[in-house]
Structure formats: C-alpha cells, structure tokens
Amino acid sequence: MHVEADLPGRVRAGLTAEAGEVLVVIGPNGAGKSSLMRVIAGLEPGRVVVDGRDWSDLAVPERRVGYVFQDQSLFPHLSALDNVAFGPRARGRARRDADRTAREWLERFGIGDLAERRPRELSGGQAQRVAIARALATEPDVLLLDEPFAGLDVSAQMALRIELGRHLRDFPGVALLVTHDAIDALTLADRVLVLDEGRVAQVGPPAEVAAEPRTPHVARLVGLNLVAVAEGEQLIAFPPDAVVVSLHEPEGSTRLRWHGQVASLAPHGDAVRLLVHASPDLLADLTPAAATELGLVPGREVWLSAKATAVSRYAARG
C-alpha cells in the first residue's frame, strides 16, 4: 500500500507499506505525526492518495480506516460490548451478528468478562483494550493508533504493549502507530518512520534507525550523540560513554573534539550523565569519581572528544 498525505504547512509525507506491516511514526512535537494520522482518516482536510486512489473528498465513514485516539474516547453511554459492536453495526451488520463479532474481539483481548461494563467502570488499560478492539472490529484497511499508551501507568503500558504487538501481528492491514517512546518503536515496529518538520526524515527497520539516526530527536530517543560532519553530507553517532571529558584541550590529532559549558549533571545508572552546550549539544557519561575529580559543575568549561572506535559514520541522506 502506498499513501501520500499532504496538509500544507503541517505535513507532507509519502509512505509505502506491505500488508500486515506495522509502521511506528516518531518525531518531535509539531513534526506532524498526529496531522499525518488525522489527514489519512479525514479528520482534517488535506490531500490523501491511497494506492493511486484519491481519498481527499471521501467523508470519514467512507474511508476504511480504524482510529485509536489518545484518550480512549469510548462512548460513555454504551457498554464495552456495544462500543465494539458500534462499528460493525454502523457498517450495516445485523445486531446479533455485530454483537457476536464484538464479543469475539473482547475475548481476544482477554476482557470478555467486562462486556457489560460502562467505560467509567473500566481501568485505563481495559478501556484502551476496548478502544483498540473497537477499531479492529471494523476490519479496516489501515489502522491508525495515535499514542495509544499515553496516560496509562507504566505497568499497564508494558502489558498493553506486549498484547498489542500480538494483535498487530495478526492484523492483515497496514498499522500506523504514533509514539513518543523509543521502546514502542523498538518492540512494535516492522519499520520506523521518522517525521521532522512535516517531512519524512528517515524510514527503516528499528535497529537500523536506532543505530544510525538521522535526526537529533531520534538520536536523543536512543541515547546517542549526533553530529553533522563533512558540510552536512555525513553524520556521526556515538554513545555518551564513548566521550572523554577533560578540562584542557586534548592533545593529539583527533578532530572529533568539542568545547563547551556543562549545562547539567544527572545520575544515569551507575554513571553521571553530562549535558554540554557545545555545537551541537552533547551527552557524556563518566564515573562519579571522575566527575568529582574534575570538579564538574554547571557552567564549567570542558573539552569533549570521542573515541574514534566507538563512532559510526554514515551518509546524512538515505
């Protein structure tokens, strides 16, 4: 499936996905992630072409998309079962038939016993399961999940993430999932699509995107330093623990060195993580002992250099 979406000033993206594929969409706030989803679903006006067919003038109900909203948006006056049966019934299925389908979906999500409950009687995780089941019950060609784990507590997120992964593997259509969380991308994605300023900055398998990020946002998500070199033609990425911190300009011929002020220090596992305002901002991990010995405090001028062996270098564009 090939999708082109265009909402002037907000997002302009093309993506290709195989049937059954899960694309996780990441990017900073304002990158156009939600806009992309909303344009595809028809919730915002914009040009959408799916497999060469122009959807732009199709009303929302005529598009074969399922949408899972950030706040579960379950109909408060309907039971969990009626919420899930709503889609099949709206698409013309008989009531008994729709109810049976809905019950099957609730069973698949392990919440068949909650069928008669109203949304306010469900926990956040249960409600989001109902919402996902409701979107899947309409058998959409495209499933759009807009930060489906937002607002859930960590353990509920964890459980739902694992479960969602299982359902997405069975889902025959294309799934697009917007997230802020690198772990969603790494665990759920067949491929990751990175949006930046409304454009597709990078597409690839999660491991590849994590190892060779092309945007500062993704680098930060996966905890890598990212520096543009060779007039912006190339990027180098290296982990914070491959950075050497010193108070004086390092000797030797290495060109991978930067000068700047310590912006903050924070514990990071067993280490101390330093944020240094260089150009660009860089992270460095060092032992607490080393941090004390160097007398590091915010505002201190330091030199950073990267161990050449830990640096990966790649083209800035795919």
DSSP codes of every residue in 67-124: EE-SS----TTS-HHHHHHHHHHHTT--HHHHHHHHHHHHHHTT-GGGTT--GGGS-H
- As separate numbers, helices (DSSP H) first and strands (DSSP E) second, the chain gives 9, 18
Binding segment (CB under 8 A) for other proteins, from list 10-18, 41-49, 196-204, 307-315? 41-49
Among the listed residues 73, 216, 290, 314, the single contact to other proteins using CB under 8 A: 73
CB 239 within 8 A of CB 225: yes
**Cβ neighbours of 113 (radius 10 Å):** 10
Strand order in the sheet with 282-286: 243-246, 301-306, 257-268, 271-277, 282-286
Nearest approach in angstroms of CB 281 to other proteins is 38
Q: Does 60 bind other proteins (CB under 8 A)?
A: yes
Q: Which of these ranges, 53-61, 102-110, 151-159, 162-170, lies near other proteins under the rule CB under 8 A?
A: 53-61
User: CA-to-CA distance for 133 and 49, rounded, in angstroms?
Assistant: 26
Name the minimum Å distance from CB 72 to other proteins: 10
Query: Using the rule CB under 8 A, which residue among 4, 15, 69, 212 binds other proteins?
Result: 69
Instruction: Choose between 76 and 252: whose C-beta lies nearer to other proteins.
Output: 76
Least separation in angstroms between residue 216's CB and other proteins is 33
CB 212 within 8 A of CB 237: yes
Q: Which is nearer to other proteins, 135 or 224 (CB)?
A: 135
Q: Which of residues 79-108 bind other proteins (CB under 8 A)?
A: 86-87, 90-91
CB-based burial of residue 17 (10 Å sphere; 0-12 exposed, 13-18 middle, 19+ buried)?
Answer: buried
> Which residues, 129 to 158, sit near other proteins by CB under 8 A?
134-135, 138
Question: Judged by CB under 8 A, does residue 75 bind other proteins?
Answer: yes
Binding site for other proteins (CB under 8 A): 41-43, 59-61, 65-67, 69, 73, 75-77, 86-87, 90-91, 134-135, 138
